[in-house]
Amino acid sequence: MIGKMSTGKSFRGCLNYLHEGRLQQSKALQEIEQEKKQAQVICFNQCFGNKKELIQQFNEVRHLNPKLSKPVLHASLSFAHSDQLSNQDKIDIGKQMAKDFGFENNQYVVIEHSDRQHQHLHIVANRVGYDAKTVSDSNNYKRMANFCRSMERKHQLEQVLSPRRFLSKEERMLPRQDIRKEALKEAITKFLKQSTTMKEFQNKITAKGYEMELGRGIAFTDAQAVRFKGSQVGYPLLKIEKQLAQNRQMQQVEQQKPSLAQQLRETILRSQKEEQLKKQQEDKQEIKQSGGFRL
């Protein structure tokens, strides 16, 4: 189980993203992205309604502490492929997080997405309570690691190592191979060999379950919502573009080369023409030797 937590300024932005996905260039693409997310609110606390109503309710309470610039608490929980939790298990985990992090009496929702092969949840909470007090966000990184380990034990989930900075001295000495990085690197290597354009490469890597971001650089997010820059796995954007350009050049060269079958046909035709020319020359010679008559 992998958990992440962050704070933000906008409930509208956070809930829009969780319900509709990343902002697309057209309405049609946005509808496809929204359908892919398959967002479902499975638990409401101190609030209720559709996305628009939730945003309004969260914002009304945040104004009880207008000085707080980041009232949004957003947590994501990703479970291993082997973990199969019931709907009640997911709700219980969301409620336990609210209790452990001190926002059980505040507004929060638990949202489930079904766009990946593994189960994963999002919890959006208002750091401002009805008493105008603010939930602390200090030391959330370590608290999240401890919470994940606790839930793994309680619900008999597949266990993962705690973040390295919180391991014991002995555990830190153990060699660790980042399986996620290796898997991503292997996928990039494979699909680069099969692609000649960035769009073709993106379609292949997306079909494998990765999200790809293009900008000044390139980044990939795997099925567990772990994000890597291309440079972290040995494939910065410049290297990928260079490889795709080389692939295009090789394809053009191959297209210009005649196929083996074509070469064989040309050889046969050339041989037939030579035989025909030889026969014509022999006929002429025979006619000449017979005084213009063929026997």
- pLDDT, one tens digit per residue, over 150-202 is 999 999 888 765 555 555 566 555 555 567 888 899 999 999 999 999 999 99
Length of the chain, please? 295
State percent of the chain over pLDDT 70: 88
Question: Residue 134 corresponds to which tokens in the numbers above?
Answer: 């603010």
Greatest mean pLDDT range, 20-24, 55-59, 154-158: 55-59
Return the minimum-mean-pLDDT range out of 15-19, 209-213, 291-295. Answer: 291-295
The pLDDT value given to residue 215: 87
The mean pLDDT value for 288-294 works out to 60
Query: Both tokens of residue 215?
Result: 């900008």
How high does pLDDT run on average in the chain?
86
Q: Tokens for 1, please give them.
A: 């189980």
Q: Which long-range contacts (CB under 8 A, 24 or more apart) does 180-189 make?
A: 180/222, 180/224, 180/226, 180/228, 181/228, 181/232, 181/233, 183/222, 184/210, 184/220, 184/222, 184/228, 184/233, 185/233, 185/234, 185/235, 188/220, 188/230, 188/233, 188/235, 188/240
**What pLDDT is stored for residue 282 in this prediction?**
76
CA atoms of 141 and 147, how far apart (whole Å): 10
- What are the structure tokens assigned to 278, written together? 């030889």
Pull the structure tokens for residue 46.
């101190």
| Confidence tier at 11 by pLDDT (50, 70, 90) | very high
Q: What's the mean pLDDT in 63-80?
A: 94
Pull the structure tokens for residue 111: 């949202």
How many helices (H) does the chain have, and how many strands (E)? 10, 8
Q: What is the pLDDT of residue 164?
A: 55
Given a contact cutoff of 8 angstroms between Cβ atoms, the answer to whether 107 and 124 are in contact is no
Angstrom CA distances, 270 to 35, 89, 196, 266, stand at 61, 77, 36, 6
- pLDDT for the residue numbered 21: 75
Q: How many other C-beta atoms are found inside a 10 Å radius of the C-beta of residue 81?
A: 12
Kindly report the pTM of this predicted structure: 0.56
Sorted by sequence, the CB contacts under 8 Å of residue 111 that are 6+ apart come out as 18, 19, 39, 40, 41, 42, 121, 122, 123, 124
C-alpha–C-alpha distance, residues 132 and 199, integer Å: 49
Among 48, 42, 127, 47, which residue's Cα sits nearest to residue 86?
42
The Cα–Cα gap between 54 and 66 comes to 19
How much is the pLDDT for 97? 97
167 vs 94 pLDDT, higher one: 94
Residue 63 three-state SS = coil
> Is it the case that residue 288 has pLDDT exceeding 90?
no
pLDDT score for 198: 95
- SS3 (DSSP) at 231: helix
pLDDT tens digits for range 250-268 = 888 777 776 666 777 777 7
What is the side-by-side order of every strand in the sheet holding 227-229?
211-214, 218-221, 227-229
The pLDDT score that the predictor gives to residue 273 is 81
Residue 269: CB atoms within 10 A of its CB come to 10
Spatial neighbors of 150 by CB under 8 A, at least 6 apart, are 100
Higher per-residue confidence, 58 vs 225:
58
Element (H, E) at 60: helix 51-62
